[in-house]
Amino acid sequence: MKFLSKSLILLALLGVTTVFAQPALYVEGTHYEVIEKPVRTADPNKVEVTEVFWYGCPHCYAFEPLIKSWEEKLPSDVAFVRSPGIWSAAMEVHAQIYYVGEALGALDKVHGATFDAIHQKGNYLEDGEAVKALFVAQGVSAEDFDKTWDSFAMTSAVKKAATRMREYGVSSVPCLIVNGKYMITINDGVTTQADMLKVVDYLVGKERKS
């Protein structure tokens, strides 16, 4: 019996050692990058997850169903936001679409319609008139669109998105940022978009503990 008790104790100790010896599920430099200078988030009481995207990106379009499903299951202490990626004139127009849709309370309709117009219909929405036609088709009045499209608030929102992207150090989309500290993209260590979200969940848990 003494031998049995000692054996059980030894096995328990080995189990504890094994638990503590387990490597991290995801590691810096392989599955995510640490942003050199953390970017301030909107609400310090929540863990913020930001998707940097572009309407013209086919990978962002393919990502939409996955990230929508993921967003629907988010706990109350996690905030999900989108931030348009901008490094060309076309991307500025597309970023403006996002913020005008948000300002007019039509983003739920316009967001998906914009992706579909570009990737299903070949309508690249390169100027204000093409964008206005899209908004009107989604039930937004032409007058409301015209008042908002070139407003100072929209120009400012686009500039802020461009600044934010530079602060993150984003060079490709889709890209996910966790709490302004960590960046996840498709790479050798993260080969699928589903894996990107798994890494995000891991880093959200890491932020909770901190």
- pLDDT cut 70: percent of the chain above it: 89
- Least confident residue range of 20-34, 171-185, 192-206: 20-34
pLDDT value of position 23: 67
Residue 210: which pLDDT band, with cuts at 50, 70 and 90? confident
The two three-digit tokens of residue 12, written as one number: 């328990």
Q: Is residue 143 part of a domain?
A: yes
Give the whole-angstrom CA distance, residue 135 versus residue 97. 9
pLDDT value of position 15: 52
Average pLDDT over residues 76-82: 98
Residue 147 has pLDDT above 50, yes or no: yes
Residue 21 has pLDDT above 70, yes or no: no
Say which residue, 93 or 2, is predicted with more confidence: 93
Q: Is residue 14 part of a domain?
A: no
| Total count of domains within the chain | 1
Q: Which residue is associated with the tokens 């309709």? A: 109
pLDDT value of position 6: 55
Give the whole-angstrom CA distance, residue 22 versus residue 17. 9
N residues, the chain: 210
CATH code for position 189? 3.40.30.10
Give the whole-angstrom CA distance, residue 87 versus residue 94. 11
Q: Is residue 142 part of a domain?
A: yes
Residue 155 has pLDDT above 60, yes or no: yes
| Bridge partners of residue 158, in order along the sequence | none
Q: Is residue 38 part of a domain?
A: yes
- Determine the residue type at 102: E
Average pLDDT over residues 147-174: 97
Give the whole-angstrom CA distance, residue 9 versus residue 15. 10
- Are the CB atoms for 189 and 65 separated by under 8 Å? no
Q: Is residue 8 part of a domain?
A: no
**Residue numbers of the domain that contains 127:** 27-209
pLDDT value of position 22: 55
Average pLDDT over residues 95-102: 98
Q: How many helices (H) and strands (E) does the chain have?
A: 8, 5
pTM over 0.85? The answer is yes
Q: Is residue 9 part of a domain?
A: no
- Determine the residue type at 192: T
Q: Is residue 16 part of a domain?
A: no
